[in-house]
């Protein structure tokens, strides 16, 4: 239960993998809220949605702690306002990591997929790797200068090679999924250097204020079957033919002996041919021309 | 067969009443064949809803007078033709008194006009009064090659040898939909309609270039001007088109509403033309809501019903 909560407590890259069906931005905002409440400096590189939409739903005091870098409105400088380019998202990321003021920092990349599509994969991986290398030395318990990077990755947009490269750089991967009910499911893969990877499945739900509510197990089955049952439709009603038997017909049917049933009465009748039994006999008077030759009854032997 | 069908479980009662009322309207209208095409601004005397597909409005829980704003609606079709949705939204937003910029790359103006007239809207009149800005891709693309305009043409990318970008097209949309200072008639909200995006990939653009153009349009039309965008993308499931998949999935992640039409898996059917899946993607913490219906396209209307409950097959 603590894995999902403490994702942003360690430095390095955390991958949040989502899909069209199960979006991960809500979880990203929930984790950002946790970091902000913990006192981290929180930077957001917003490339996919507007700042207004990203900040929507978060409390005012949380929003005031977020430093938003807007790469959504004019990422390619089409507006040509003549101002100096603020620098691409990677420059901002490197600048955040080189800052001199102490304190833990959380950086949210919304989204890593956008960066993957616009920046050469090697450059992106090198930048992220420099981050992880700097802050994930084992035994380093000081959280003074850690930088945690939460990267939102849309699974369907990338082939296996870029996804594999990014996941090898991340110490934790969280795949967002869900069930038919209301609960979300996070499949967490946690890699600690020098240890075996650990997997965990965590059911949770996200509250309207982007708080996280953890659940112990899968949600209960929806209670629809306890509702009033629909009246069963009788398929034998309103037929144009008669399916029922009258009382006499039923009795006659029940008393009928089937030809293949071997009852004791039948056995006795067969064993003892009673006097009332008529045995059949054949009477034949041969004609004058009949030649009854027992050795050649069909008269076709050429002898 | 005009008896009202038994109440299906999938439809809440108020919508069911509206749906059966509009079905009765459509039956009356098809026999009377009254369509007003000259006065789209005011409601017709007897048939107020004959401007778009009323049943689709019921399913989407929307109406011209209460259209939401700031939304990206993605239309997607697989193994079938989803262009009837484009015609629906075109007449819906014109009826809703919105300013519409239609980037029409697939068909000619007269084609859309003929279909719109069946739905009771005149595109010629809308264009003349400034409500509709129509970019006819088929005609404009020829102009790009045989004229050398001073300003970059919206479809300038057709002339570029290397992979281009859609900045001139973005400037065209922005100029068309940004309200001018001359005090023109105040339209409700701007709407960008694109038919369709997949053809841009066929014309040599990359998926990232098209996604960037859509992002700039979203920033301007949806966020800044509080308008709506409706775009059609084809889903070519059988061909492994990576660029198209990136475009489709990338836009799906950014959409508020996804309408996906599919042909039936069992093949062509005379009475059921396909299946429509409606997915609401809320940008909140609630999970998506998804509904599936089957439909039949008629001359002037599209009728929707639950799976397996088409009137013709019951």
Taking residues A229-236, report their average pLDDT: 71
> pLDDT at residue B17 above 60?
no
Token pair belonging to A130:
């420099």
**Higher pLDDT residue, B10 or B240?**
B240
Residues 90-109, chain A: which have Cβ within 8 Å of B? Answer: none
For residue B184, name the pLDDT band (cuts at 50, 70, 90).
low
| A67 located within any domain | yes
Q: Would the CB atoms of B253 and A208 count as touching at under 8 Å?
A: no
Residue A139 pLDDT: 46
Taking residues B59-82, report their average pLDDT: 86
> pLDDT at residue A40 above 80?
yes
Taking residues B135-151, report their average pLDDT: 83
SS3 A18: strand
Q: Would the CB atoms of A20 and B219 count as touching at under 8 Å?
A: no
Residue B125 pLDDT: 95
Taking residues A95-123, report their average pLDDT: 87
Residue B186 pLDDT: 77
Which of the given ranges, A260-274, B23-37, B69-83, B146-160, has the highest pLDDT on average? Answer: B69-83
| A155 located within any domain | yes
> pLDDT at residue B29 above 50?
no
Which residue, among B168, B211, B253, would best test binding to A if mutated, counting the most A CBs under 10 Å from its CB? Answer: B253
Integer Cα distance of A260 and A274 in angstroms: 22
Q: Would the CB atoms of B287 and A178 count as touching at under 8 Å?
A: yes
> pLDDT at residue B8 above 50?
no
Q: Does A207 touch chain B (CB under 8 A)?
A: yes
**Higher pLDDT residue, B143 or A216?**
B143
What DSSP string describes A21-83? SS--HHHHHHHHHHHHHHT-EEEEEE-SS-HHHHHTTS-HHHHHHEEEEE-SS-TT--S--SS
Residue B56 pLDDT: 83
Reply yes or no: is the peptide bond before residue B180 cis, omega within 30 of 0: no
Q: Does A71 touch chain B (CB under 8 A)?
A: no
Q: Does A249 touch chain B (CB under 8 A)?
A: no
Residue A82 pLDDT: 59
Residue B275 pLDDT: 92
The total of other beta-carbon atoms located within 10 Å of residue B257's CB is 19
Domain count, chain A: 1
Cβ density class A45-72: b for 16+ within 10 Å, e for less: bbbbbbbebbbebbeeebbebbebbbbb
| A210 located within any domain | no
**Contacts with B226 from chain A: Cβ below 8 Å:** none
> pLDDT at residue B62 above 60?
yes
Residues 6+ apart with CB under 8 A from B169: B103, B154, B155, B157, B213
Q: State phi, psi for A153 to the nearest 5 degrees.
A: -125, 125
Across chain B, mean pLDDT equals: 80
Residue A268 pLDDT: 77
Which residue among A26, A48, A118 sits closest to B208, beta carbon to beta carbon?
A118
Integer Cα distance of B272 and B279 in angstroms: 21
> pLDDT at residue B34 above 70?
no
| A101 located within any domain | yes
SS3 A133: helix
Taking residues B272-297, report their average pLDDT: 79
Q: Would the CB atoms of A48 and B253 count as touching at under 8 Å?
A: yes
Q: Tell me how long chain B is.
A: 314
For residue B299, name the pLDDT band (cuts at 50, 70, 90).
confident
Size of interface A-B (CB pairs under 8 A): 66
| A12 located within any domain | yes
What percent of chain A shows pLDDT beyond 70?
82
Taking residues B230-241, report their average pLDDT: 88
> pLDDT at residue B27 above 50?
no
CATH of the domain at A23: 3.40.50.300
Angle at B116 between CA B115 and CA B119, to 5 degrees: 100
**Higher pLDDT residue, B290 or A52?**
A52
For residue B39, name the pLDDT band (cuts at 50, 70, 90).
very low
> pLDDT at residue B282 above 60?
yes
Residue B183 pLDDT: 55
The total of other beta-carbon atoms located within 10 Å of residue B58's CB is 21
Residue B28 pLDDT: 38
For residue A173, name the pLDDT band (cuts at 50, 70, 90).
very high
For residue A256, name the pLDDT band (cuts at 50, 70, 90).
confident
Residue A132 pLDDT: 66
**In terms of Cα–Cα distance, which of A153, A114, A118, A158 is closest to A22?**
A153
Q: Are strands A147-154 and A12-18 parallel, antiparallel or unpaired?
A: parallel
Taking CA atoms, B21 is separated from B8, B26, B32, B308, in Å, by 15, 9, 16, 21
Residue whose tokens read 């939102």? A152
> pLDDT at residue B33 above 60?
no
Residue B1 pLDDT: 45
SS3 A179: coil
> pLDDT at residue A56 above 60?
yes
Integer Cα distance of B313 and B75 in angstroms: 28
**Higher pLDDT residue, A82 or B246?**
B246
- Are A20 and B253 a contacting pair, CB within 8 Å? yes
Domain of A17? 3-135+144-169
Taking residues A186-211, report their average pLDDT: 86
Residue A45 pLDDT: 93
Residue B258 pLDDT: 93
**Higher pLDDT residue, B266 or B246?**
B246
Which residue among A26, A53, A75 sits closest to B285, beta carbon to beta carbon?
A26
> pLDDT at residue B105 above 90?
yes
| A302 located within any domain | no
Taking CA atoms, B295 is separated from B49, B235, B276, in Å, by 19, 19, 7
Residue B195 pLDDT: 92
Residue A145 pLDDT: 66
ipTM of the complex: 0.76
What percent of chain A shows pLDDT beyond 90?
27
Residue A89 pLDDT: 86
Taking residues A13-28, report their average pLDDT: 90
| A116 located within any domain | yes
Token pair belonging to B273:
């033309």
Taking residues A161-187, report their average pLDDT: 86
Q: Does A70 touch chain B (CB under 8 A)?
A: no
Integer Cα distance of B247 and B279 in angstroms: 18
B288: nearest CA partner in chain A: A21
| A88 located within any domain | yes
């Amino acid at each position: 239960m603590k894995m999902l909560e403490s994702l942003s407590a360690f430095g390095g890259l955390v991958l949040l993998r989502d899909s069209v069906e199960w979006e991960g931005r809500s979880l990203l905002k929930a984790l950002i809220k946790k970091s902000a409440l913990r006192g981290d400096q929180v930077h957001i590189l917003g490339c996919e949605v507007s700042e207004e939409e990203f900040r929507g739903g978060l409390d005012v005091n949380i929003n005031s702690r977020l430093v938003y870098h807007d790469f959504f409105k004019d990422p390619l400088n089409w507006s040509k306002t003549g101002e100096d380019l603020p620098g691409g998202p990677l420059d901002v990321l490197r600048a955040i990591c080189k800052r001199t003021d102490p304190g833990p920092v959380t950086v949210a990349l919304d989204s890593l997929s956008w960066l993957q599509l616009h920046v050469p994969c090697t450059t992106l991986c090198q930048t992220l790797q420099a981050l992880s290398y700097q802050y994930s030395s084992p035994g380093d318990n000081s959280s003074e200068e850690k930088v945690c990077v939460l990267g939102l990755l849309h699974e369907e947009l990338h082939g296996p090679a870029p996804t594999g490269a990014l996941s090898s750089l991340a110490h934790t991967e969280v795949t967002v999924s869900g069930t038919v009910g209301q609960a979300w499911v996070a499949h967490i893969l946690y890699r600690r250097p020098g240890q075996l990877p650990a997997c965990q499945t965590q059911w949770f739900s996200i509250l309207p204020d982007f708080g996280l509510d953890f659940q112990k197990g899968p949600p209960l089955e929806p209670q629809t079957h306890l509702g009033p049952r629909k009246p069963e439709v009788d398929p034998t009603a309103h037929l144009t033919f008669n399916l029922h038997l009258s009382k006499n017909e039923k009795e006659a049917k029940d008393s009928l002996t089937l030809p293949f049933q071997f009852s004791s009465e039948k056995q006795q009748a067969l064993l003892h041919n009673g006097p009332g039994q008529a045995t059949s006999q054949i009477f034949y008077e041969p004609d004058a021309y009949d030649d009854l030759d027992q050795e050649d009854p069909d008269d076709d032997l050429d002898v | 067969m005009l008896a009202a069908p038994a109440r299906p479980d999938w439809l809440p009662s108020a919508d069911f009443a509206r749906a059966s009322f509009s079905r009765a309207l459509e039956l009356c209208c098809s026999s009377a064949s009254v369509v007003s095409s000259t006065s789209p601004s005011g409601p017709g005397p007897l048939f107020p809803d004959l401007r778009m597909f009323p049943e689709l409005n019921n399913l989407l829980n929307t109406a011209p007078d209460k259209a939401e704003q700031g939304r990206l609606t993605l239309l997607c079709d697989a193994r079938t033709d989803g262009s009837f949705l484009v015609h629906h939204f075109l007449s819906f937003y014109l009826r809703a008194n919105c300013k519409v910029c239609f980037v029409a790359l697939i068909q000619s103006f007269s084609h859309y006009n003929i279909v719109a007239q069946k739905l009771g809207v005149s595109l010629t009149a809308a264009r003349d009064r400034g409500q509709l800005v129509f970019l006819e891709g088929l005609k404009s693309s020829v102009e790009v090659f045989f004229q050398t305009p001073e300003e970059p043409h919206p479809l300038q990318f057709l002339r570029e040898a290397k992979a281009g970008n859609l900045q001139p097209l973005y400037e065209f949309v922005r100029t068309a939909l940004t309200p001018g200072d001359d005090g023109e008639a105040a339209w409700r909200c701007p709407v960008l309609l694109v038919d369709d995006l997949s053809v841009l990939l066929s014309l040599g653009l990359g998926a990232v270039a098209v996604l960037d153009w859509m992002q700039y349009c979203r920033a301007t039309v949806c966020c800044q001007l509080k308008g709506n965008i409706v775009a059609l993308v084809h889903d070519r499931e059988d061909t492994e088109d990576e660029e198209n998949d990136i475009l489709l999935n990338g836009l799906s992640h950014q959409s508020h509403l996804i309408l996906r039409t599919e042909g039936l898996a069992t093949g062509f059917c005379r009475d059921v033309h396909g299946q429509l899946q409606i997915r609401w993607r809320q940008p909140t913490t609630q999970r998506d809501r998804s509904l599936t219906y089957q439909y039949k396209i008629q001359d002037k209307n599209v009728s929707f019903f639950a799976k397996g409950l088409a009137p013709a097959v019951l």
